Amino acid sequence: MKKLLYTFLVSLFGGFLALFMHNFYYDHSNNIITEEKDNMVNISFNPLSNSNLSVENDFVSAAEKTIHSVVHVKNTSISGGNSSLWDYFNNSGGKTRVGMGSGVIISEDGYIITNNHVIENASTIEITTNNNKTYNAELLGSDEVSDIAVLKIVGDESFPYIRFADSDQTKIGEWVLAVGNPFNLTSTVTAGIISAKSRDLNDFDSKNQSFIQTDAAVNSGNSGGALVNTNGDLIGINTAITSGTGGFVGYSFAVPSNVARKIFEDIIEFGNVQKGLLGVTGFGLNSKSANELNIDLTEGFFVNDTEAEMGAERAGIIKGDVIISLDNIKIEKFSDLSGYLSTKRPGDKISVGIIRDNKNIKLRVTLEKNNNVSFLGMQLKNMTKTELESYKITHGLKISNLRNSSLFRMGVKPGYALTEINNNEIKKTEDLSNYNSNTKINQMIFVSPNGEKERLIFE
């Protein structure tokens, strides 16, 4: 019995000793860290985590706020002339064409913002809301340059509407939703981020814009629809895609809400768009132009000239200045400058930050009324008697801005004077009303500031 008890005690002691030695020499921290790491991985990629729920809820909330305020726009127009003997004798007068797009209700009483190209040449406009109610709408006004049009639903009903946000405050990388009717699929919502701001699609396009670029899917039929933030507020009007196939390929473009709102207010108050001009000509800087000008700046707007009796000249801006800010908003390229000025009216006073001789200067400039007219991608204005004498001509219109790539390649530049079209003298801007999109232009004569005449012949 004593021998058995002795054996038991020895075994028990040996077990305690082995357990002590194991705990003393073996590090359990690796197991603990592994467990913690495994838990962290599981939490990080959990689709039901709080952060993911927050983004999901933002999208749902924004969609619910906006989907009933974006409408389907049907544009019916009559195009062309009599296409057959049957049409001629039956007085058909042309073919009926139907266009489709989207629109955004921005007031309770049924005012709508859409794209100009959605309702262009419309004889009738029909609106269909998200609950499948159909209304007639009237066109109150439009602006071809910004591609914005304003409609009003006929009737006295109340409608859900989207509030404007300040598009200047949007950030690259911010989540956005595009709401519209692509391919006649009503009430479609897609998500993306803001990919870029102040995007100009074509440096020589007469319809220069300062777009918000996004990777939210936008296709045919989305034009005129809403680009909204996660609060469901309007930051842009979806307008364009660039694609070889005509379908979405990863990026789309919207007119900023500040521009759309200003155009809407102008049309309602004045009946047309009021454009405030700074009174400068020039170009956005880059490394190549900086080397040619022998300056250190590669961003900003280089002032090549100022227009006589305009705000910039009166405020003291001179040739060679580089505009780097407007009202403390950074100006890196031309589209930054043109985009901000698109939100301003004649008479508005703005703070212009410039660099001159490596010094930062701020000037107060009053914007002036746009006395220019747009024609074939040119901005033209009447010339003073002094200007005509310096050009050694008796008549002509001065090119204050040129966005026509064909004319630019032919040697025409801002500052040139247009004196003739099809052998007809051009004396005042009113003379351009004799020419429209159907007029065949065979030749034009331009005169450079040093008096050299250039005749361009088109065949």
Structure confidence by residue, pLDDT tens digits, 123-136: 999 999 999 999 99
Q: Looking at the structure, tell me whether residues 38 and 72 fall in a common domain.
A: no
HSE-CB at 77 with a 13 A cutoff on CA atoms is: 13
Chain segment 265-278, per-residue pLDDT in tens: 999 999 988 989 99
Dihedrals phi, psi of 399, to nearest 5 degrees: -85, 110
| 194, two tokens | 């803001």
CA gap 344, 39 in Å, rounded: 55
Q: Which pLDDT belongs to residue 207?
A: 52
Say which residue, 404 or 1, is predicted with more confidence: 404
Q: Is residue 412 scored above 60 in pLDDT?
A: yes
Long-range (24+ apart) CB contacts under 8 A made by 137-144 are: 137/73, 137/112, 140/267, 140/268, 141/267, 141/271, 141/272, 141/273, 142/116, 142/267, 143/116, 143/263, 143/267, 143/273, 144/116, 144/207
Write the CA distances from 376 to 136, 205, 398, 400, 432, integer angstroms. 34, 10, 14, 13, 10
Q: Looking at the structure, tell me whether residues 74 and 148 fall in a common domain.
A: yes
Say which residue, 188 or 88, is predicted with more confidence: 188
Q: Classify residue 391: in a domain, yes or no.
A: yes
Q: Classify residue 421: in a domain, yes or no.
A: yes
Q: Is residue 144 scored above 50 in pLDDT?
A: yes
Q: Which pLDDT belongs to residue 56?
A: 60
**Strand-pair partners of 179:** 189, 226
Chain segment 421-451, per-residue pLDDT in tens: 999 999 998 899 888 767 888 999 999 999 9
CATH number of residue 417's parent domain: 2.30.42.10
Active site residues: 117, 147, 223
Write the CA distances from 110 to 129, 236, 304, integer angstroms. 11, 18, 45
Supply the DSSP symbol for 145.
T
First vs last Cα of the chain: how many Å apart? 126
Lowest model confidence (mean pLDDT) among 163-167, 202-206, 336-340: 202-206
CB 401 within 8 A of CB 378: yes
Q: Looking at the structure, tell me whether residues 346 and 429 fall in a common domain.
A: no
Q: Which of 123, 169, 122, 117 is nearest to 146 (CA)?
A: 117
CATH number of residue 146's parent domain: 2.40.10.10
- In the predicted model, what is the mean pLDDT of the chain? 84
CA gap 3, 25 in Å, rounded: 33
CB 148 within 8 A of CB 113: yes
Q: Classify residue 423: in a domain, yes or no.
A: yes
Q: Looking at the structure, tell me whether residues 360 and 381 fall in a common domain.
A: no
Q: Looking at the structure, tell me whether residues 349 and 393 fall in a common domain.
A: no
Residue 207: exposure state from Cβ atoms within 10 A (0-12, 13-18, ≥19): middle
Given 335, 369, 403, the domain boundary residue is 369
**Strand-pair partners of 101:** 73
CB 226 within 8 A of CB 178: yes
Q: Which pLDDT belongs to residue 356?
A: 96
Q: Classify residue 165: in a domain, yes or no.
A: no
Residue 167 identity: S
Q: Looking at the structure, tell me whether residues 280 and 364 fall in a common domain.
A: yes
Confidence bin at 370 (pLDDT 50/70/90): confident
- Which domain does 8 fall in, by range? 2-44
Q: Looking at the structure, tell me whether residues 388 and 365 fall in a common domain.
A: no
Instruction: Report the pLDDT averaged over residues 326-352.
Output: 94
Q: Classify residue 228: in a domain, yes or no.
A: no
Confidence bin at 159 (pLDDT 50/70/90): very high
Confidence bin at 211 (pLDDT 50/70/90): very high
Instruction: Report the pLDDT averaged over residues 357-367.
Output: 96
DSSP string, 216-282: S---TT-TT-EEE-TTS-EEEEEEEE--SSSS--S-EEEEEHHHHHHHHHHHHHHSS---EE--EEE
Q: Looking at the structure, tell me whether residues 329 and 401 fall in a common domain.
A: no
CB 422 within 8 A of CB 445: no
Supply the DSSP symbol for 57.
H
Q: Looking at the structure, tell me whether residues 39 and 104 fall in a common domain.
A: no
Q: Is residue 85 scored above 70 in pLDDT?
A: no
Q: Is residue 386 scored above 70 in pLDDT?
A: yes
Q: Looking at the structure, tell me whether residues 16 and 80 fall in a common domain.
A: no
Q: Classify residue 213: in a domain, yes or no.
A: no
The highest-confidence range among 2-6, 160-164, 398-402, 431-435, by mean pLDDT, is 160-164
Domains: count for the chain? 4
